[in-house]
Amino acid sequence: MGRKHDAVVAAEPVAVPSPAGEAPNSPKLKSEKKKKKHKNKDKHNQEQNGTASPKRKLDEIQPRNAAESDKGKKKKKKHKRDSEENVEETKAESVDGAGGGGGGGDESVTDGHVAVTGKNAGEAKYAPVKSFAGSGLPENVLECCKGFEKPSPIQSRAWPFLLDGRDLIGIAATGSGKTLAFGIPAVMHVLSKRKNKAVKGRNPLCLVLSPTRELAQQISDVMCDAGKSCGVESVCLYGGTSKGPQISSLKSGIDIVIGTPGRIQDLIEMGVCSLKDVSFVVLDEADRMLDMGFEQVVRSILGQTCSVRQMVMFSATWPLPVHQLAQEFMDPNPVKVVVGSEDLAANHDVMQIVEVLDDRARDNRLVALLEKYHKSQRNRVLIFVLYKMETTRVERMLQQGGWKVVSIHGDKAQHDRTKALSLFKNGSCPLMIATDVAARGLDIPDVEVVINYSFPLTTEDYVHRIGRTGRSGKKGVAHTFFTQQNKGLAGELVNVLREAGQIVPDALLKFGTHVKKKESKLYGAHFKEISADAPKSQKITFDNSDED
């Protein structure tokens, strides 16, 4: 008697947009005003760099603003790294003993643009892994990394903690290698648990939850690839497709389940998916997973897993309202690894152009922009809209104008969603319109331009959307329409533009630069800001009564 939860698994808003001014903001931006004067560099002459080396270097592509959150206030001391042969000396590294904090030993380690905070974070055993050869990981597990030169910064910092069984919050953009940052430890978790145990009819040991079906499939592809050289099997469970093959996979015995919450919950209720042995859980795009729409079902699913489990959360943005919630699910002392900035910040490889215009002028302007950005009709351009209906209308308008375009939104049959995405990815139709269902986590190569036809409901979503371009060290352009209706988000957008050194149009400034205090969807205006690495909080053990 599986209840349908799939409606929950949609990244689009289902209600009318919040009135201007009610949208949340990033509280950390409050301090922005007090900080240095911003210089708006003219980036509009930046050329798009299309070169790609055969071995990709991820650490070149995320130098956003160096993580400085804990700097300044605390006394720094040089941390001497263990000179294990497999770990290189980290240059310019500082370790802050934060003291207190849930049992003491909390440390903050800053290494270039990566900041690590958590209990004993500065210990030698948690030193960054600088090479695959020196990682200590078995060769067959590293088979999937063969095409890469070295571990990406998030992998380099997260692996030692995750392999040691620590709970971890990873803040890193999609495209930074975060899937393998949790994927390799997940495979290792399975291998260590399976040792000397029967493998037939096995229940899964790891669970990865994703807010969208497309992201789940993408993660599953990576996990299947990572597992095939070492016999670790994964299955992707997501809605909109037949349950039959998913049930068969589960019955044949599987190691890792990747999926969207709705379908997983359905299969649990049907009695065909047992998570009782799951002791390694990942919430990808964790802020979205803990968003109001997902919280109950996530809670319920976690209630089915082992009470003693390793919990991992990854996200590119980390708004304060989810910090407290995240704490409920984790060890009181999770390690936090931040690549780039924890503050709301856009990828600096993306040139952001914001155009303030009238609502009704957008159609003509969109066509003009496509003439400019998509003249060849060969380069990938992604247009974001807010609502499913809007997708259909804009798609029809463009098709009538002779543009070849596909679209993706939550009301489409999964088969059509998958087909549209693959046509866009393989270049058969390099123009796609999407709702925010495509804003998160998707690793689509070479998206040259993102056009925000409608501004999203939150600035976090804006950052996610424009993050679809400017990936793998390439430059990208994000052209955004901003209307009177969006004025409540003007202040936050101004801050994001300034932080990235982009031009702030006068017309945008006219809406004011006030940034409203963020409200928690769960705790409302009385929400108390607590950072993720704050001490206290108890790990909650779920039982069946948590099910809704």
Name the one residue in this structure whose structure tokens are 């597992």: 227
**Three-state SS string across 320-377, please?**
HHHHHHHHHHCCCCCEEEEECCCCCCCCCCEEEEEEECCHHHHHHHHHHHHHHHCCCC
CB nearer to ligand AMP: give 61 or 489: 61
Smallest gap from Cβ 239 to ligand AMP, in A, equals 22
- Which of 539, 449, 545, 4 minimizes the C-alpha distance to 270? 4
Using CB under 6 A, which of the segments 114-122, 149-157, 301-309, 483-491 binds ligand AMP? 149-157
User: Sign of the C-alpha dihedral, residues 496, 498, 502, 503?
Assistant: positive
Phi (first) and psi of residue 74, to 5 degrees:
-100, 150
Candidates 122, 160, 177, 473; binder of ligand AMP (CB under 6 A) is 177
Q: Would you count residue 234 as binding ligand AMP (CB under 6 A)?
A: no
Q: Kindly state whether residue 176 participates in binding ligand AMP, applying the rule CB under 6 A.
A: yes
Chosen residue from 155, 304, 310, 391 binding ligand AMP by CB under 6 A: 155
DSSP secondary structure letter of residue 104: S
Nearer to ligand AMP, 180 or 320 (CB): 180
- Cα dihedral sign for 463, 262, 520, 535? negative
Give every CB contact of residue 221 below 8 A, 6+ residues apart in sequence: none
- Among 94, 174, 212, 324, indicate the residue that binds ligand AMP (CB under 6 A): 174
In the complex with ligand AMP, the residue whose CB is nearer, 60 or 68, is 60
Binding mask 305-324 for ligand AMP (x = CB under 6 A): --------------------
Q: Does 179 bind ligand AMP (CB under 6 A)?
A: yes
Query: For 18-31, b where at least 16 C-beta lie within 10 A, e where not — what string?
Result: eeeeebbbbbbbee
> Of 328, 365, 405, 338, which Cα lies nearest the Cα of 65?
338
132 vs 329, beta carbon nearer ligand AMP: 132
Nearer residue to ligand AMP within complex by CB, 25 or 155: 155
Which helix (H) or strand (E) is 418 found in, with range? helix 414-425
Q: How far apart, in whole angstroms, are the C-alpha atoms of residue 458 and residue 493?
A: 10
Q: Which of 61, 180, 289, 489 binds ligand AMP (CB under 6 A)?
A: 180
410 near ligand AMP (CB under 6 A): no
Rounded to the nearest whole angstrom, what is the least distance from the CB of residue 438 to ligand AMP in the complex?
14
Dihedral sign, CA of 235, 239, 241, 246?
A: positive
The rounded distance, in Å, linking the Cα atoms of 147 and 424 is: 24
Residue whose pair of structure tokens reads 């058969």 in the numeric block: 428
- Binding string to ligand AMP for residues 439 to 468, with x set by CB under 6 A, is what? ----x-------------------------
Q: How many Å apart are CA 162 and CA 168, to the nearest integer?
A: 7
In angstroms, the CA 87 to CA 85 distance is: 6
CA distance 17 to 13: 8
Smallest Cα–Cα separation from 418: which of 401, 442, 384? Answer: 442
The CB density around residue 392, as the number of other CB atoms within 10 Å, is 16
Backbone angles phi, psi at 181, to 5 degrees: -60, -40
Q: Which helix (H) or strand (E) holds 180?
A: helix 178-194
Closest approach of ligand AMP to the CB of residue 57, in Å: 7
Range in contact with ligand AMP (rule: CB under 6 A) among 108-116, 169-177, 450-458, 534-542:
169-177
In the stretch 12-51, what mask flags binding to ligand AMP with x, by CB under 6 A?
----------------------------------------
Q: Which stretch binds ligand AMP (CB under 6 A): 170-178, 272-280, 401-409, 503-511?
A: 170-178
The yes or no reply on residue 498 touching ligand AMP (CB under 6 A) is: no
Total binding residues toward ligand AMP, as defined by CB under 6 A: 15
154 in Cβ contact with 178 (< 8 Å):
yes
Give the residue ranges of DSSP H helices in 2-97: none
Binding mask 47-66 for ligand AMP (x = CB under 6 A): ---------x-x--------
How many other CB atoms sit within 10 Å of the CB of residue 99?
Answer: 10
Piece of 28-36, 175-183, 368-376, 513-521 that binds ligand AMP (CB under 6 A): 175-183
- Residue 145 vs 191, nearer CB to ligand AMP: 145
Q: How far is the CB of 176 from ligand AMP (least distance, A)?
A: 5
* Helix, strand or coil, per DSSP, at residue 306: coil
- Indicate the residue among 177 and 293 with the shorter CB distance to ligand AMP: 177
* Contacting range for ligand AMP; rule: CB under 6 A; set: 10-18, 151-159, 185-193, 204-212: 151-159
**Cα–Cα distance measured from residue 177 to residue 153, given in angstroms and rounded to the nearest whole number:** 8
When asked if residue 495 is in the footprint of ligand AMP (CB under 6 A), the reply is no
Out of 24, 151, 153, 211, the residue judged to bind ligand AMP by CB under 6 A: 151
152 binds ligand AMP (CB under 6 A): yes
Q: Which stretch binds ligand AMP (CB under 6 A): 173-181, 328-336, 425-433, 446-454?
A: 173-181
| Contact residue for ligand AMP among 43, 140, 148, 203 (CB under 6 A) | 148
By the rule CB under 6 A, 352 interacts with ligand AMP: no
What is the Cα–Cα distance from 187 to 184, expressed in whole angstroms? 5
For residue 166, CA distances in Å to 154, 204, 537 come to 15, 20, 16
Shortest CB 222 distance to ligand AMP, Å? 6
Q: Which is nearer to ligand AMP, 284 or 331 (CB)?
A: 284
Binding site for ligand AMP (CB under 6 A): 56, 58, 145, 148, 151-152, 155, 174-180, 443
